[in-house]
Amino acid sequence: MPLTQPSTPDERRGNHTASPSSGGAPTLKKSAIGLRESTIISMAGAAPGQVVAVSLAPLIVASGYGFIPSIIVASTAMLCIAVAFQRMNLWDQNCGGPYSWVGRAVNPGAGFGVGWILVVTFVVSLIINFVSIGPAVLALLGFDPSSQWGTVIAATVLGTFLTAFAVIGVQLTGRLQLSLAIAEYAVLLMFSAIAFWALFVNDRPNSVHPTWEWLSPHGVGGSGGFVATMLLVIFMIAQWDTSIYLSEETERAETNPGKAVIIAVITLGVMYTLICFAFATVAPPEAMEQHSTNAAVFVAEELTGSGWAKAMALAVVASVLAATQATIVGLARIMLAMGRDKVLPSVFGKVHSRFQTPATSTLLTGGLGIVATWVYILASSVSDTLDVLIATIGFMFACYYALTALAAAWAMRDRVVSNWRDALLGGVLPLVGAVLLGWVAIMCAVDFSSAEWAALAALAALGVVMYLVAKLRYRAPILTGVPATER
């Protein structure tokens, strides 16, 4: 159906429960965070410090130093998608985000499919974040980052702490995210400035001097692969949409979450271009590869010695913690939206009466991350399976962003002919973003191994089973067309 503005606040939110004051079921806390916190939470989902630490060496190798064009193109594609998200949030402020939008704009079955992809991508991201907590913290404290039990204990303690914060309230989450962001971004930008000073002012002997070939999509000597680099950059920028899932709890819910994702994507694109360029000049690619598990700390050691490198290790830890909590918060609210619609067990659709947060979904999400960390670290056979699934994460992100953008263009199809602004923002930009990400997803899928295809097939089959359960067992009103009061 064409896009039409819902007539009431509850319809806009997709939340048909009454407020606590009216004596009905409790709802999420309204106007709990502002634009600043919303933007920071979106950027935290992308985890700049953590991503630079683990992706810098692969980025240099994959691109042959030609990563700047890939960052620009991927950021532009994501910005187009962010505009689509902003337009859809104006229409419908729902903590399910794309799940709700696609369901209303196309049909509930398609919405469930996008919701399922959302859940899977967030769960995989959660596992990546939880597994990263232990080594980052151990390295900061001077312990062996490869210690299995050290990793498990650190992830369990900090995961419990982050989950508790998320349960208590989104305002507390916003304050924690702001503190972590200040520490993370200040250190990253400081070392970027030091790297540029060492290169252009001090003419540091070990520095790698950039050439014009760094601006080529295929890098120095044509050694880089543009598609492979694009997929890596998409993974680096992905999950900028976390603030959308907090829309029901944000001041000016119609506008602020959309502004937040646009600001976040632009800022991330600029930061990644600046930081990766600066850090890539510090040491040759062979040295970067030898320290690929935490290249950011290696860069800091090269520039200032081991003492100041602790500051970089702290920034990476702050990034990991912020990303983990942002993922917990976002996934819990996606599950809340699906639970409210009864496409997941209705217990996930409950809001805590005191904290006004999706406590059940949050506790399950945090517990899942902790258990997954134990399994990943201590059970090698399961970790191999998870590694295959993690290899598909960039593909899944590209798919759900592209599908949401297509749904946005479809929903606004009657408006794109009304004026040039609606044609550009509601039609052209979403389609450009969808085409770019769809192309990257297809090119990525061509190179998938049989194990990766099997993992995707298993996830798709599980999604079909979940859909049938929701329709036939839970008799979800949005899938059966039968209102809950008539069943």
Query: What was the pLDDT predicted at 483?
Result: 53
Segment among 76-85, 340-349, 369-378, 422-431 with least mean pLDDT: 422-431
- Please, which residues have CB within 8 angstroms of residue 159's CB and are 6 or more apart in sequence? 130, 133, 324, 366, 369, 370, 373
Contact between 251 and 50 (Cβ < 8 Å): no
- Domains identified in the chain, total number: 1
Contact between 422 and 415 (Cβ < 8 Å): yes
pLDDT digits (tens, 9 = 90+) for 199-216: 888 878 888 899 999 999
Residue 78 belongs to some domain of the structure = yes
Residue 26 belongs to some domain of the structure = no
pLDDT digits (tens, 9 = 90+) for 344-360: 998 999 999 999 999 99
**Which tokens hold the place of 451?**
């194990």
pLDDT (mean) for 39-62: 91
Contact between 294 and 316 (Cβ < 8 Å): yes
Query: What was the pLDDT predicted at 422?
Result: 75
Statement: residue 273 has pLDDT above 90: yes
- Rounded CA-CA distance 395/443 in Å is 10
Provide the 10 A C-beta neighbour count for residue 148.
12
Computed from CA positions of residues 211, 216, 222, 226, in that sequence, does the dihedral angle turn out positive or negative? positive
Query: What was the pLDDT predicted at 259?
Result: 95
Residues 29/30/31/37 CA torsion (nearest 10 deg): 50
**Which among 9, 31, 46, 38 has a CA at the least distance from the CA of 257?**
38
Determine if the pTM surpasses 0.85: yes
pLDDT (mean) for 392-401: 86
**Which tokens hold the place of 17?**
């429960």
CA distances from 75 to 267, 271, 431 (A): 10, 11, 15
SS3 230: helix
Distance of CA 174 to the CA centre of its chain: 16
Give the CATH number of the domain where residue 232 resides: 1.20.1740.10
Residues 473/476/479/481 CA torsion (nearest 10 deg): 110
Residue 4 belongs to some domain of the structure = no
Q: What totals of helices (H) and strands (E) does the chain contain, helices first? A: 20, 0
Query: What was the pLDDT predicted at 264?
Result: 95
State percent of the chain over pLDDT 70. 92
Residue 310 belongs to some domain of the structure = yes
Contact between 48 and 187 (Cβ < 8 Å): no
- Rounded CA-CA distance 293/50 in Å is 10
Segment among 66-70, 261-265, 423-427 with least mean pLDDT: 423-427
Residue 22 belongs to some domain of the structure = no
Contact between 206 and 282 (Cβ < 8 Å): yes
Residue 207 belongs to some domain of the structure = yes
Residue 486 belongs to some domain of the structure = no
Query: What was the pLDDT predicted at 6?
Result: 41
Contact between 320 and 128 (Cβ < 8 Å): no
Statement: residue 398 has pLDDT above 70: yes
The parent domain of residue 438 ranges over 35-474
Contact between 361 and 348 (Cβ < 8 Å): yes
Statement: residue 242 has pLDDT above 80: yes
**Which tokens hold the place of 329?**
């918060």
Which parts of 47-107 fold into alpha helices (H)?
A: 48-63, 67-91, 98-105
Residue 243 belongs to some domain of the structure = yes
pLDDT digits (tens, 9 = 90+) for 92-151: 999 999 999 999 888 999 999 999 999 999 998 898 888 888 888 888 888 887 788 888
CA distances from 388 to 329, 440, 450 (A): 25, 19, 10
pLDDT digits (tens, 9 = 90+) for 156-191: 999 999 999 899 988 888 888 999 999 999 999 999
Provide the 10 A C-beta neighbour count for residue 415.
17
Query: What was the pLDDT predicted at 235?
Result: 85
Query: What was the pLDDT predicted at 24?
Result: 62
Query: What was the pLDDT predicted at 377?
Result: 85
pLDDT (mean) for 223-251: 89
Residue type present at position 14: G
The DSSP H or E segment spanning 460 is helix 450-468
Looking at beta carbons, which pairs linking 444-448 to residues 24 or more positions away fall under 8 Å? 444/227, 444/231, 444/394, 444/395, 444/398, 445/395, 448/392, 448/395
